[in-house]
Structure 1
């Protein structure tokens, strides 16, 4: 016999179900809320960017359920920012939807979902840039999903360039370009066996749906996974050399990119002298402050000023993607005597990458940092502190000791100067390595009081390498520093 639930009982059940659903949705929605902070209406573009008129923000988040890292460029022009922001937001929405669908599986398998949106920027003429995005997300299974998107922006005209701004579009030229793309697809032996010609021809039929970018070397056309080929081919990039594509270019645009851009003036490089690492007193009170995710055009200079005022040295774990935009700022960090270290190129969770991919993330960042600062970083800090045997092997092969931390300031979470100081001073001990980030204004706000408090307790600020030498710690690590 089925017993009917009276009206009050139904109301209680409905509210319980609503509360559970709302709670789950609210928790997962943080990936959108905390990573979609809009640019301020009159946000100033930093003069220190190597790409005039163009800046970048790297936004990261870590929870028990997921991690993400998003490289987000922006200009002072809302009409240029809008389509870029909309595409990035769409990737985040797809990611959160997938998390909801796989939440139980993620928890059962103790696996964290991951979203990484990385950016490559190329200057092709004065204030004309190609922005190439690659979005990768994984929420379970053996493989994730990769999507690619590009934008060509002309800051002289304050507009996103469309296909007809670049090409002379007519029926004949469109057919010729389609053939160039198909020929290139079939000439690549690694992917040709996976291509579905009918799908490729259907996608190429409508030029308005082409995903493309342009550089001085030629044109690149992009296809998402499964769009024109079997999944084994992955996301596909087709590159057409300029000598083949040039006959179809819009004349005005061709003139712009043919103008020879003078190479950047190279000032006389000052002779580099490795700093002598002072021998530390084994009984001394030392702490190593470390700053991740920079350099940031507004926050890093404030931190440098404070460190200089207190005669304190620190270690900066830099992202290659940030240094690419702000090389002069990275150089300033080095010039002021701070230790320069590697935080990878794109802040990916290295534990979900293969060994060669891990090495490439480290090498690419290292090359950019060395070019900017004149110093090759030796220490490596994996993003999110995520490490496994492949990460350790890559670090060993590249002779890059892994430096973690023993005190987390949680500045990335609290965004409060007072909370940062309380967290650090409650947990610091002689030999601690403290995790901070030079991308949050609140961290710069916290630093003067933090250094004052550490000084009053007799601490001296040193670099991570100085601590490792004091302890005679060698090898790949990971090295964590001392805790209470």
Structure 2
């Protein structure tokens, strides 16, 4: 859906979606860990001289820490079909994950990227295809900065009300845009409104993606005020949590200002921010 229409439709759908999303979270909470995959990662041959300098172009080292975890373009890695989304990271250490949904939006996403860059923090962006296709430069910027881009469907529909073919179309079109603009196919998927069912999990897995929900909801889409957003994130901070915020779908100026405030505070409190890899417990 278009940026300024999302808020109205979200209010109409959120009640039913919350029930559906809660059903997925009711089981044992899935935990994702920051450990490297068990499969060995092939190392590139050592080079020196002009070849070495050439190898260090941004396009050559994008997401180097994530190497070996993304599926190939031609054949997605076989992914297990989950019954509930992952909700948090491994709680070892004071690690958190920041996630931003619904973008990219040229009015707000660049400010969020600048703040993350200022503090050398990586985050996850779950993008909608209809937004990404018109802002592919922002996906390229995310790749250059080491952020992870996930699939959030094409139009942000309530997937549990769609047929399997419609779900596939929403997901597949967005995968293609991400692959083209970001340089890697997405390995993470988040259902709009947190509404999952068997078909949604299965189609996501067919495209080699793992489902990720959240632990702390900033509810910034309700525009409750910058102070309230900051308080919700800082109060919910704990080892392993995944924070949900938004960089599109309406006026996100409060979200931009809130990030500028809570991010340095959490860093000063000893928290670290990581993007998860494809190894789970």
TM-score by length of 2: 0.70
How far apart, CA to CA, are the structure 2 residues paired with 1:275 and 1:326? Answer: 23
Q: Could you say which residue in structure 1 is the equivalent of 2:231?
A: 422
- The alpha-carbon distance between structure 1 residues 285 and 66, as it changes in their structure 2 partners (threshold 3 A), is same
Residue pair 1:61, 1:67 contacting (<8 A) in 2 also: no
Residue pair 1:62, 1:384 contacting (<8 A) in 2 also: no
How far apart, CA to CA, are the structure 1 residues paired with 2:64 and 2:100? Answer: 20
Instruction: Tell me the secondary structure at the aligned position of residue 211 of structure 2.
Output: coil
Check if 1:57 corresponds to 2:11. Answer: no
Number of residue-to-residue matches in the alignment: 218
How far apart, CA to CA, are the structure 2 residues paired with 1:62 and 1:430? Answer: 34
How far apart, CA to CA, are the structure 2 residues paired with 1:281 and 1:349? Answer: 29
Q: Could you say which residue in structure 2 is the equivalent of 1:341?
A: 150
Q: Could you say which residue in structure 2 is the equivalent of 1:393?
A: 202
Task: Give, in angstroms, the shift of residue 381 of structure 1.
Answer: 0.4
Between 362-371 and 407-416, report the one with greater CA deviation.
407-416
- The alpha-carbon distance between structure 1 residues 60 and 356, as it changes in their structure 2 partners (threshold 3 A), is same
Instruction: Tell me the secondary structure at the aligned position of residue 270 of structure 1.
Output: helix
Check if 1:275 corresponds to 2:59. Answer: no
- The alpha-carbon distance between structure 1 residues 285 and 442, as it changes in their structure 2 partners (threshold 3 A), is same
TM-score by length of 1: 0.42
Structure 2 unaligned blocks of 5 or more: 18-56, 68-88
How far apart, CA to CA, are the structure 1 residues paired with 2:7 and 2:13? Answer: 5
How far apart, CA to CA, are the structure 2 residues paired with 1:324 and 1:64? Answer: 22
Check if 1:66 corresponds to 2:20. Answer: no
CA deviation digits over 1:164-207, x for unaligned, max 9? xxxxxxxxxxxxxxxxxxxxxxxxxxxxxxxxxxxxxxxxxxxx
Task: Give, in angstroms, the shift of residue 283 of structure 1.
Answer: 3.3
How far apart, CA to CA, are the structure 2 residues paired with 1:334 and 1:407? Answer: 25
Task: Give, in angstroms, the shift of residue 284 of structure 1.
Answer: 1.3
Q: Which runs of 4+ in 1 moved over 3 A?
A: 61-65, 268-274, 280-283
Structure showing greater radius of gyration is 1
Structure 1 unaligned blocks of 5 or more: 1-34, 36-55, 69-109, 113-267, 474-484
Q: Could you say which residue in structure 1 is the equivalent of 2:274?
A: 462
- The alpha-carbon distance between structure 1 residues 269 and 314, as it changes in their structure 2 partners (threshold 3 A), is closer
Q: Could you say which residue in structure 1 is the equivalent of 2:259?
A: 447
User: Higher RCO, 1 or 2 (CA under 8 Å, sep at least 6)?
Assistant: 2
Residue pair 2:62, 2:146 contacting (<8 A) in 1 also: no
- Equivalent positions of 1:74-93 (< 5 A) are none
Equivalent in 90, 100, 109 of residue 300 of structure 1:
109
How far apart, CA to CA, are the structure 2 residues paired with 1:111 and 1:270? Answer: 43
Residue pair 1:60, 1:67 contacting (<8 A) in 2 also: no
Say which structure is richer in strand: 1
Task: Give, in angstroms, the shift of residue 364 of structure 1.
Answer: 0.2
Residue pair 1:294, 1:437 contacting (<8 A) in 2 also: yes
